[in-house]
Structure 1
Amino acid sequence: MPTVAVDKADLWERLGQEFTTDEFDKLCFDYGLELDEDTTEEVEENIKKGLPAERPQLKIEIPANRYDLLCIEGIARALLVFLQKQDAPKYKLVYPKGGESDLLTVKIDPSTAAIRPLFACAILRNIKFTEKSYASFIDLQDKLHQNICRRRQLVAIGTHDLDTLTPPFRYEAKAPSTIKFAPLGKTQEYTAEELMTLYEGEKHLAKYLHIIRDSPVYPIIYDSKDQVLSMPPIINSDHSKITLNTRNVFIDVTATDQTKLDIVVNMVATMFSEYCEEPFTIEPVKIILPNGQSRITPDISARQMTAHASYVNSCTGLSLSSTEVATLLKRMSLEASVNPDNSDEITVSIPPTRPDIFHECDIMEDAAIAYGFNNLPDKFPATSTVGQPLAISKLSDVVRLEWARAGEVSLTPSACP
């Protein structure tokens, strides 16, 4: 489970009230989180000793599938809805005045199929960063890179100051010797080959070099003036770096997995759309695919699922009406309404921030969390069952055990009969 450190005072301000450590620990448990540490006492001790001390932090363990809780913005948003202090935000795409024809475009070259073929992006317009929100923006990208992105192997995120660039953009794959630009934090230009050598000694970036190093072509993103935006998944260009003064943010996401690509671009865009001049709005981008077809990203449309009050009750031991179940789901940021033609059916709208919900059992779990696990009836099940592994699982266990017992097997010619 990933751990997210948030500024304690900032979180209290966002939640509109202060909590004791025990109170917040209980709130976390009720929501399905875990308070790992409150550093207030440690900070106070350092202050007494005259040592430099940071502001008190809360370190919160997050379920591995709740990518929307990997930043203070997402945590505060979810807890405010859970505490019924506000409704879940409604994210929406806002097109330029000219409509789809005025959308920024990115053309994908067929050459990218050889290295990193998938691409998505989004724009956050008229954003206002503070030092804290800027740091949170960078930290969320790092958390996603280490989690769902699998250390950038499956997905990589780049963020740019759009006002320093000239659209339209193009995404290509080129021989490393032909790629040259000044990377983030540098003023000198290097070829991609030189960058691979340069970053061997940098701990932060060296661990990502193997992803593309041995490929004959490297992915690269250009604007219309051949200014480099990024060489994913390694480094962005210094030219388009975001700062506290950045007003329009262009988010690029490259990947080898379509599902994870869609999740990541949605997470970054929705989490920080609250800082836009019109909160929770995102400007889409048109992607021109190699086959000539186009795709609008990001897709933040809600998914519709059906749940049943009878199923929720059978799993939890409760006797809730469909209306009561719908009210519980609303506390978990899920819009729900009872089907007027079937009083047992509940139509649930899954927002783009909840890709962890796949089946009706996930909806049932959210209803149980909102009701309170400690409030569920404590009773033995009516029937007793004994679980057993599938036949293929039993066979796999036997093979795995014998393989482990065999020890090292030599494959040299002298070992062969």
Structure 2
Amino acid sequence: MSMVGVFLWIFHFSDTDRYMGKYTVVLIQSVVVYMDFKTYDVIMYLVFVLVNLVNLLSQVHYLNCIRVLLLHPIINGAHSAISLQTRNVFIKYTATNLTKVKIVLNTYVTMFSEYCQEKFEVEPVTVVHSDGCTSIYPDPSITNMKVDLSNISGSIGVSLPEQEVPFLLEFIHLLKKMQLQTEESLSQSGKYNIIVSIPPTRSDILHPHDVMEGVAITYGYNNIPKSKPKCLTKGGRQPLNKFSDKIRAETQLAGYLKALTWILCSHEENFSMLKQVDLGNAISVANPCSSEFQVVRNSLMSGLLKTLKHNKDHAKPIKIFEVGDVVIIDESNDVGAANNRRLAALYCNVYSGFEEIMGLVERIMTIMGSLKLHLKLTEFFPNRQCSISFKVKKIGNFGIVHPEVLSEFKIQDPCSFLEIDIPSVL
């Protein structure tokens, strides 16, 4: 296809598209024609000015992004081909994840620079961001990682001799085989450590265990002495998963159908549509691929209501449930968050069915000695809600869903909802 044909296809697609149709005139006015006086070939480029592009893209439905400008190479021909006469090569990468694109750029540049006239000669480029901040790429800095010698030997299964220095030198020699420069250091307690210099080409080394793996590979897995386990363990199911399956079985025997929803949802579905206020207790997703996957849910309610929304034409009553995880902020955890297993059930009929949900609660909590207390939650109807306590600890709540919450999900029939924290009863 000729270049003129390509752009005619672009304009035809833009003109017939229901979102981009009104921007066809803008696209045509943005075309710049360049005449190469040597070959008299007409080369057409779509050039967008960033200032005008911000206003344009912010109005497009599926291009809801601003301050983003990407000029793909429209022509891949002899003009940009690399030959023996090429002296300078400009390398550019574009991605939505800064960490990943830096890894790819560093790897590509370091490998490519080996074939330069002066080996490993790279000219950095200063990138000016939209907020005025500047960054210099590539970043070939070397990261140093301190690794305990005894930790490496213990993890591999090689006993550390009394004379640590020869053993240390052997480990340094093994790491050099893995192209990792190391040097020894002495801790305050008199123990020997090694400092590993991680080059930009070894982005796979993230933890001292990665260094230990490299030592084990070069040492040789077959050279590691075999030994019997120091402790005996018996494989079995996790108590939480086993108890969750029991709850699923009991709920299904009560006539409820199992649902499986996404753990990610939109910010509105997690808060405003449930009449909840965002107190900063939800984990947000950076650069979400869709507006429906903005935050990690901290309740199963929105997922079941969305399921009911798309199945509300089925015969009444509609009884669905889900046993799944929500994510809560936990500063004591190393990642700052923790999963929490919960049971949620939803009953929909021409009447609210509060007694139906209460019957399910009594079925589950028969042998747990629960105590039900009244409370006021905004997502439930006033004076039609209860909390569930187990051993003086609140583990859940149930009640009639508030009409305003139902209207947000376009549900006309009344519903009752139940949610229980499963790990609290183990």
> TM-score range, shorter-chain basis?
0.3 to 0.5
Structure with the bigger percentage of helix? 1
Larger radius of gyration: 2
Between 1 and 2, higher relative CO (CA 8 Å, sep ≥ 6) is seen in 1
